[in-house]
Chain A
């Protein structure tokens, strides 16, 4: 992809995100597929591609491409396993190559059952599990190393979390909506999970699903909403998270990430929204640095200001993984929130948001002013990191 407007996100779908839904992952996923196709003005009959981590295995037939085809009742010409921004780029490449025409990207899960800690936070690997490490510890190790190398502080981490939580408190669809407000001090003084992370610096644990529909420009122009163009991006996988020791190795991908902007003909200053992967608070800081929005080490100062709703590059606009939703596979939410911001489909406390009346009063409104170009990030770990560049006409 080189900045051409020939691949588009044509539809998005989001189920209710909630704790203890009592529903199966398969049920949530199939609902999200239906919502996204309906949003696009398409049907399951139109789909020939499927990209997702969570395959429809709820029928006892396992996770494989044949079972995916079985769900749709027609041949699939593309089945692949990834999610979020990376899946959007992969779908676009496949469509451009003629391998598929309408690709659905469902993601999500149901694991919380009201639990405090999801099962996927407990790696079973022989060299990981005995250490008592789990997801917050794995990423606390990365945050602590960043603090050591660059002087990043707990106060800066708390400021990132405070912004995400503030946005989440404006979003009636957020799992944390209605919970007491959290400022940076309250976040710093909250229950410690794995230092430097207190609980509000860690992801939620909840149920839910989401789906993205990617198609060609030709098909997208006939769809219900204006196309959101996939201009390009970059990806890298270096190492196997949860199995290998966590490190800052992903920051070495900075030149490749910056090259992704150049290939798409996009300059950083023109980017209106940066939806970082905010599973833990160090995420946005490291991503801003690695994507080239600021120099390595500058993120601690820069990001808490830049990501504000009227900042240079607003982010965590739905509340992020900290306050909106972490349903196990929440990567889709970064591109989805960008599409919703482009459309003005941003549920918040503005009385007339449905009619497109956004007050931009930051006590009510989480709509960014006139965004046209945005970055949606993928998990920023050694295991999988990168971003997609999205634009509207």
Chain B
């Protein structure tokens, strides 16, 4: 890892998410009252405004909402080309992420993807996505 890589810094609100990825799960907030899922981490349910929620393991699966191959990285911490994507999780929320281990020319909108948890260091495990071969018809 490049020394200048922007390592995520958890906040009190987001810490359970990062504990989840470290434990091998993609955990999202799920509302105790309406059952709605939300991403990014927020105080209230974005569907019904309830403050009651639990961090629950999501399926870690979804489909590509959109993607772009970045050829000109923002800082030297990144090596181009790489693929930034929005994944529509099976639970509903859209999640900004990367798609890895798939040649860019093979990526398509609506393609099935699954999370590929990747340890960055002892504290942070990132959550890029990759092709979900089991779901390719």
Contacts and interface: CB of A to CB of B under 8 A. Distances in A.
Contact of A245 (B6, B65, B110): B65
Given A126-B14, A127-B8, A194-B70, A132 B40 contact: no
A245 B94 contact: yes
A141 interface: yes
Give the contact-size bracket for chain A: 20 to 34
A358 interface: no
B84 A195 contact: no
Nearest to A148: B109
A132 B78 contact: yes
B36 to A, nearest CB: 16
A205 to B, nearest CB: 12
Contacts of B130: none
Contacts of A145: 65-66, 86, 109
Contact of A121 (B7, B8, B74): B74
Interface residues of B, number: 35
B71 A192 contact: yes
Interface string B111-125: 000000000100000
A247 interface: yes
Contacts of B78: 132
A141 B126 contact: no
A128 interface: yes
B12 to A, nearest CB: 12
A193 interface: yes
A211 B126 CA distance: 43
B101 to A, nearest CB: 15
* Interface of chain B, main secondary structure: loop
A194 B10 contact: no
B58 interface: no
A124 B6 contact: yes
Nearest to A126: B8
Contact of B71 (A126, A141, A193, A247): A193
Contacts of A244: 40, 94, 96
A133 interface: yes
B66 A141 contact: yes
A144 B68 contact: yes
Interface in A174-211: 191-197
Contact of B74 (A122, A126, A196, A246): A122
Interface in B27-57: 40
A132 B10 contact: no
Contacts of B85: 141
A137 interface: yes
Contacts of B110: 148
B18 to A, nearest CB: 8
A244 B86 CA distance: 10
Nearest to B17: A127
B14 to A, nearest CB: 6
A126 B66 contact: no
27 contacts: A126-B10, A127-B8, A128-B96, A130-B126, A132-B77, A132-B78, A133-B70, A133-B84, A134-B73, A137-B84, A141-B67, A145-B65, A145-B86, A145-B109, A148-B66, A148-B110, A192-B72, A193-B70, A193-B71, A194-B68, A194-B69, A194-B72, A197-B68, A245-B96, A247-B65, A247-B86, A247-B94
Given A126-B9, A243-B40, A244-B40, 19 more contacts: A121-B74, A124-B6, A128-B96, A130-B126, A131-B98, A132-B70, A132-B77, A133-B70, A133-B96, A134-B73, A137-B68, A141-B86, A192-B72, A194-B68, A195-B71, A245-B65, A245-B86, A245-B94, A247-B86
Interface of B: 5-11, 14, 40, 65-75, 77-78, 82, 84-86, 94-98, 109-110, 120, 126
